[in-house]
Structures are given as structure tokens and as C-alpha cells.
Amino acid sequence: MLTDITIGQYFPGDSVLHRMDPRVKIVLLFFFIVGIFIFDTRGAYAVMSVFTLLLMLLSHVPLRMMARSVKPLWWILAFTFLVHLCSTPGEIFARVWIFDFTYTGFWQGFFVCLRLVLLILLSSLLTFTTSPLALTDALESLLRPLKRFGVPAHELAMMMTIALRFVPTLIEETDKIIKAQQSRGSDFSSGNLMKRVKSLIPILVPLFISAFRRADELAMAMEARCYRGGVGRTQMKALQIGGVDYLALAVTLVFAAVLGALKVVGV
Amino acid sequence: MPIELKHVTYTYMPQTPFERVALQDVSLTIEEGSFTAIAGHTGSGKSTLVQHLNGILQPTSGQVLVDGTDLAARGKAALAARRKVGMVFQYPEHQLFEETVALDIAFGPKNLELPEAEIEQRVRQAMEFVHLDYETYKDRSPFQLSGGQMRRAAIAGVIALQPKYLVLDEPTAGLDPRGREDLLQRIVQLHKKEKITIVFVSHNMDDIARTADRVVFMDQGKVLLDEAPAKAFFAEKEIAQAGLAAPQMVTLLTKLREKGLAVDPAAFTMEDGVAHIMKALREAKSC
């Protein structure tokens, strides 16, 4: 059923990662991603994999859900691995038709895939442990310095917040309309393409009407509450950097130092 | 033959942190020809329950039988069984989409692949039944109608399917008193004249008092009470637990009785109530 979809993939919880300031999480994630590309020795990969695994355990998000976020990229991973496997020159260990499989290719492919998986896991850790609203708050706060150059930080964040707020509402609405039209005997799953596209009209028309109606009502409600953009607006739950965040910062620094040392030693 | 629910349990979003059991082991039989009201607080599971009646939701466990056919089965028999149950959702006017009222009402019959003449006939009948004049309204856009008319046009769209059972989920919500009155009368007519079995979901006990011959209270996904109105409206404990209020007339008569007027509190409609009070007053005067 449609309403069974979770939006974003926020997984409510109370782990250390959940309690961190979303801004710190975004910034640290950025550094981790840069790190993944800078440090490319085997030792560094080992350290990073272990570290990612620890973070995953720390987040208390079931590993099953984590695995689900990697699943859509399965084909890309397999393709990347194969391309590396048979297009890298080196010692050949197998040959199929015109393709030479090499050891260097195998390891190169493996590490590229590992890199990708780490990237996905780390970024989904962010979305798993941060509610969409906290994320937009953090983005607004991080974009604020760019206001001087004309970036409408508040407006962008507000737009994102509203969009996110309405996704579940509209999904619910769609679900209801689909059920209602099904009750009137419409069939969405048979017939040729033309017929199927046509069968969407009874869903799309009421959906658009209700979306416009809601937008109108929301605009009215915001205006009635004297909303006029971000100027002078304060927040009820202001973001605050606390102990957990300093701890995370310290851990990251140690982690970076270890990786740096590994790079210098060349493991 | 009735609609039977056998030990129906329904869980929303199973195996996620958002998991929620909406129905818990509900067994219920809706007899043919009855007018059943399902009452309960918001979130008591009444809407989830009725969506099982035409197979829109499939129970997580348990069975729904319409005239003896299991709705979960595949094939023509189950499809035919589902089509016997017409379903009017909350705010049905939100599903209108066609250019004209007549086309919108014809949407259901068209999906049944009926011949043109029969479709027109059914549209005409359905519109007359909800008191929308066919000639006046057939070519109007449904979006130009008033709220009450839109509601009635949407209900006509379901009636045109000529279901044997008709489920209405809070059909009077958001209507003005006159629209509400009018719609209730139309529904009672459907029940009486067309012999359609009605399942009526509402939390307005006054509406229920005037229409139903059987009342089911839902609370936290379970059937709390399943009785004839004469008993249900005096089950104070269950009424309170379900978060409802007894019909105003029953409350009034009970209070009058407490004050010493010898009145029979078993009157649910305005007319009956007035008659009872008058009778009691006359008796009080004569002695």
C-alpha cells in the first residue's frame, strides 16, 4: 500500500548520532567523503570500513534497513567491478572470450566498490539519524553566510520544509483517491500503455485540485500568522552545539590523524 | 447472504518502527437488509474496518466473506463479490474529476463495461435519487456545484454501480444542517425503497439514532459493543469508553426523568421525543 512508504528514511531513535547537531553531522560527513577519496591505501580502507561499521552499530539502526539503502545500487556496483576487473592491465588469471581478468583489476574494482558502499552507508547514516526537518534547519543555518551573495537561504529551507511536510499528506491523499476510484471499478494494472496512462487521469485530476487547494489554504494560514520571510525570525528549537558534538569532532580528528599517519607510512 | 468478518486483524506498516495495529481480531456479521451504524472515536479503526468490506484492504490475518465468497481469493467470483459492495469514502467530493457531472457519475458503470443506454439510464436514476435534477446538472462541471451538491454527485457515482451493500464513511461530515438532513433522508430512502444494505460510519450519535437498526461501537481496533439502538444508547459505560456521547434526545429524556417527569427515555428522534414528552406532561396534568 502507498501509505506504507517511509519518507526520507528517518529512523527515530535516541542514539549518540541522533542527538548530534545536524550541522555538525553534515560538515563531518563532508570531511569523511573527502577523506574516502584522499586516503586510498589498503590500511586506510580497513580503518575506514571498521569506523563506518562502528558508526552503524552506534546508530542503533537495524543493519537490515542499512542494507536496503545499498540495494538500489547493486547493479552499478556489479558493473563497476566488472569493468575494472577486465580493463586493467596486469597479471592475467582468467580469460573469457576477449576479456582478460587481472589481479590488479580485481583489487582495483573491489576498492572502488568499497569506496562507493562506504559513501552510501555514511550518507544514509545521516538521513537515518536526522529527521528531514532537522536537516533543512541545518541547511538553512549552513547557507546563512551565503546570504550576502544573494542566496535566499531561509526561503530555500522553508520551501524544502513545506515540500517535505506535504509529501506524506499527498501520499495519503493519493492513496485515498486510488482506493475511491478502485471502488468505482477502475483498473490500473491491465491493458496497454495508452489505457494505463488514461487510467491515471481519474487520480491525477483530483490530486492536483487538492494540492492547489492545500497550497492556497497554507498560504492563507501563513499570512494570517504574519509570515513575511526570514527577516527577524527566531526558532523555537534553536540548533545548539553540545558535548556530543565536541566529542564527535575529537573522534574525527583522531581518525583523520590515524589516516594521515597511515598515508605517510604508506600502508 | 451477509457480509462476514472473521477474526480480522490489520496492521499498518508491519515490521517497521511505525507499525500500528488498527484492527484486532474483529468478528462481525452484517446481515442483508440491515442498517448498521459503526461509531467510534477518531483512530478507533472504523475507517480501516469498512475498507475491508470491499477488499480495498486485505486483512493481515482473518477472512472477509461477502455472500460466502472470500474477498482475498483471486478470480472472477471474488471480483464480483467486491463489486457488490459500494463504498463512499470520507469527503467523496474530492474524487470528482470529469468535465461534467453526468460523465463523472458514469465513470463507475463505464468501468463495468455496460452498454451506453444502460449507463445513461443508471446515471439518470442515480442523480434523481440524490435529488440532482438530470437535465439541469448533467452538463455542469462538478467543480461549479456547491459543497452539498458535490457530495451528492459523488455519492451518485457510487449508487450508479447499483451495489447490494453500500458503505458510507462519515457521509455527513462538513455539511450544513440542511445538507446533512437531506443526505440522511436520501440514505434512509435507499435502504427502504431500494432494499440496499447500509453500513454507516459516523461519530454523530444523533444521525445514528435516526437511521440505524443496529449499532457497533469501535474502540482501539476492537468491537466494544454490538447491539440494537434501544440497548446501545443506554450503555453509558461503553459510550464513554468509545469517546462518544448519547443522542441528545436520549440525554434530554433521561434528565427529565431524573427531574421527576414520568417519561420513557427510549425515543431517538425529535418527533418521538416530542410525542413522549407531550404524553408525559398530559398524564402529569390529569392526575
What secondary structure letter does DSSP report for B27? E
Calculate the CA A176 to chain-centre distance. 28
- The verdict on B208 and B269 lying in the same domain is no
- Nearest-CA distance A201 → chain B (Å): 8
Compare CB distances from A205 to B12, B97, B161 and report the shortest one's residue.
B97
B138 and B268: one domain?
no
Parallel, antiparallel, or unpaired for β B61-66 and B69-70? antiparallel
Residue of chain A whose alpha carbon sits nearest to that of B108: A184
Report the CATH number at residue B227. Answer: 3.40.50.300
In contact, A161 and A136? CB cutoff 8 Å: yes
Q: Which of A266, A264, A259, A261 is nearest to A44 (CA)?
A: A259
Residues of chain A contacting residue B141, judged by C-beta atoms under 8 Å apart: none
- List own/partner pairs for A233-236 with CB under 8 A and 24 or more apart: A233/A154, A235/A137
Measured CA to CA, the distance from residue B225 to residue B38 in angstroms comes to 10
Residues 6+ away with beta carbon under 8 Å from B163: B83, B84, B85, B86, B196
Q: CB–CB of B107 and A209 under 8 A?
A: no
Residues B83 and B125 reside in one and the same domain:
yes
User: What is the number of structural domains in chain B?
Assistant: 2
Q: Rounded to whole angstroms, what are the CA distances from A174 to A186, A208, B86, B107?
A: 14, 10, 20, 18
Which residues of chain B fall below pLDDT 70?
17, 287
- B172: which 3 cell numbers? 455527513
Tell me, yes or no, whether B180 and B270 share the same domain.
no
Distance CA B147, CA A115 (A): 58
One pLDDT digit (tens) per residue for chain A, 267 residues? 454 444 457 788 888 888 888 888 898 899 888 888 888 788 888 888 988 898 888 888 888 878 877 877 888 888 888 888 887 777 777 777 777 777 788 888 888 899 888 888 888 888 888 888 888 888 888 888 888 888 888 888 888 888 888 888 888 889 889 989 988 888 777 777 888 888 888 999 999 999 999 999 999 999 999 888 777 777 777 788 888 888 888 888 888 888 888 878 776
**Chain A interface test: which of B82, B95, B199 (most A C-beta within 10 Å):** B95
- Interior CA angle at A238 toward A234 and A243, to 5°? 155
C-beta atoms of B97 and A176 within 8 A: no
Residues B175 and B96 in one domain: yes
- Do B277 and B168 fall into the same domain? no
Q: Do residues B116 and B33 both lie within one domain?
A: yes
Distant-in-sequence, close-in-space partners of A140: CB < 8 Å, separation ≥ 6: A153, A154, A156, A157
Question: How many angstroms separate the Cα of A255 from the Cα of each of A41, A113, B19?
Answer: 15, 22, 38
Query: Using the beta-carbon criterion (under 8 Å), do A206 and B87 form an inter-chain contact?
Result: no
What ipTM was assigned to the predicted interfaces of this complex?
A: 0.83
Which residue out of A184, A186, A198, A203 would a mutagenesis test of the B interface target, given it has the greatest number of B Cβ atoms within 10 Å?
A184
Element (H, E) at A218: helix A201-224
| Cβ-Cβ contacts under 8 Å, B108 against chain A | 184-185
Contact B229, B247 (CB under 8 A): no
> Is A183 within 8 Å of B56 when comparing Cβ atoms?
yes
Put simply, the answer to whether A184 touches B157 (Cβ < 8 Å) is yes
State whether B75 and B105 are in the same domain: yes
> Rounded to whole angstroms, what are the CA distances from B126 to A232, B90, B123?
57, 19, 5
> In this structure, what DSSP letter does residue A155 have?
H
Looking up cell 547493479 gives A75
B232 and B262: one domain?
Answer: no
State which residues form the domain around B133: 3-243
**What is the tens place of the pLDDT at every residue in B229-257?**
888 888 888 888 888 888 888 888 888 88
Task: Kindly state whether residues B23 and B76 are assigned to the same domain.
Answer: yes
Cβ separation of B13 and A4 shorter than 8 Å? yes
Instruction: Write the pLDDT tens digit of every residue in A119-153.
Output: 888 888 888 888 888 888 888 888 888 888 888 88
Enumerate helices (H) and strands (E) in chain A, giving the number of each.
11, 2
Q: Which residues lie across from B141 on neighbouring strands?
A: none
* Interface size between A and B, measured as CB pairs under 8 A: 60
At residue B287, the pLDDT reads 66
Are B104 and B81 contained in the same domain? yes
What are φ and ψ of residue B153, in 5° steps? -65, -40
Burial B233-258 (b: 16+ CB within 10 A, else e): bebeebbeebebebbebbebbbebee
Beta bridge partners of B260: none
Phi, psi of B251 (to 5 degrees): -60, -45
- Length of chain A, in residues: 267
**C-alpha–C-alpha distance, residues A124 and A107, integer Å:** 25
- Count CB atoms within 10 A of the CB of residue B75: 8
A204 to chain B: nearest residue by CA?
A: B97
Contact check, Cβ <8 Å, A184/B13: no
Cα separation, A221 vs B27, in Å, equals 43
Side-by-side strand order, sheet with B35-40? B85-88, B165-169, B197-201, B35-40, B214-219, B222-227
Residue A86's CB: how many other CB atoms inside 10 A?
A: 20
Task: Answer for the pair A25, A129: CB distance below 8 angstroms, yes or no.
Answer: yes
CA distance B102 to B104: 5
- Extended strands (E) in B130-271: 165-169, 197-201, 214-219, 222-227
Q: Using the structure block, give the residue that is written with the C-alpha cell 569532532.
A: A249
Q: Are the beta carbons of A201 and B83 separated by less than 8 Å? A: no
Asked if residue B162 and residue B279 are part of one domain, the reply reads no
Q: Fill in the amino acid letter for A113.
A: C
- A206 vs B contacts (CB less than 8 Å): 94-97
CA A121, A122, A128, A129: dihedral to nearest 10 degrees? 150
The C-alpha of B128 sits at a distance from chain A's nearest C-alpha, in angstroms, of 19
Cell of B176: 450544513
